[in-house]
């Protein structure tokens, strides 16, 4: 993975989280109906995605990344995947198939991002120190 691709993984991660969160906020009633999830659950998903997206984009545009900030990002992705599994298990009987599928795909997506961010963590630190 070259330097530009490593930078792009942070931008992709942050942009995906922020975009998903904003869409969930904007379309909350429709998504709750489509996914057959309670409004507070959709609101939780939206809030978490926006917060995460802002943090990841802050890192993407920062020239002061450190190993703790990258580790926190990776850890947050792993925790979010666990949360996705918990939501799927909790609402398995009541949520729609499309809702369960989207939440499962989000969990898989963040695990893949965590893998690539962890794998390239040293380079992500070096990139921000290049002038």
Q: What is the DSSP string of 73-117?
A: HHHHHHHHHHHHHHHHHHTTTTS-HHHHHHHHHHHHHHHHHHHHH
Q: What is the pLDDT of residue 131?
A: 42
- Global pTM exceeds 0.85: yes
Q: What is the pLDDT of residue 5?
A: 54
CA dihedral 65, 68, 74, 80 (to 10 degrees): -110
Count of C-beta atoms within a 10 Å radius of residue 5: 12
State the Rg of the chain over Cα.
16
- What is the number of structural domains in the chain? 1
Q: What is the pLDDT of residue 130?
A: 45
Q: What is the pLDDT of residue 85?
A: 98
CA–CA gap between residue 111 and residue 91 (Å, rounded) = 21
In CATH, what number is assigned to the domain containing residue 51? 1.20.120
Domain that holds residue 33: 3-127
Q: What is the pLDDT of residue 23?
A: 98
Task: Collect the ranges in the chain with pLDDT lower than 70.
Answer: 1-7, 127-131
């Amino acid at each position: 993975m070259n330097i530009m691709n490593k930078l792009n993984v942070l931008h992709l991660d942050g942009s995906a989280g922020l975009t998903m969160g904003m869409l969930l906020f904007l379309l909350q009633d429709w998504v709750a109906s489509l996914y057959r999830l309670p409004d507070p659950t959709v609101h939780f998903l939206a809030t978490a995605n926006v917060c995460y997206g802002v943090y990841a984009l802050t890192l993407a545009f920062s020239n002061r990344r450190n190993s703790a900030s990258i580790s926190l990002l990776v850890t947050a992705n792993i925790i979010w995947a666990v949360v996705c599994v918990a939501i799927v298990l909790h609402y398995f009987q009541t949520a729609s198939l499309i809702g369960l599928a989207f939440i499962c795909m989000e969990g898989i997506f963040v695990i893949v991002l965590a893998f690539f961010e962890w794998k390239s963590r040293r380079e992500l630190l070096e990139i921000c120190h290049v002038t």
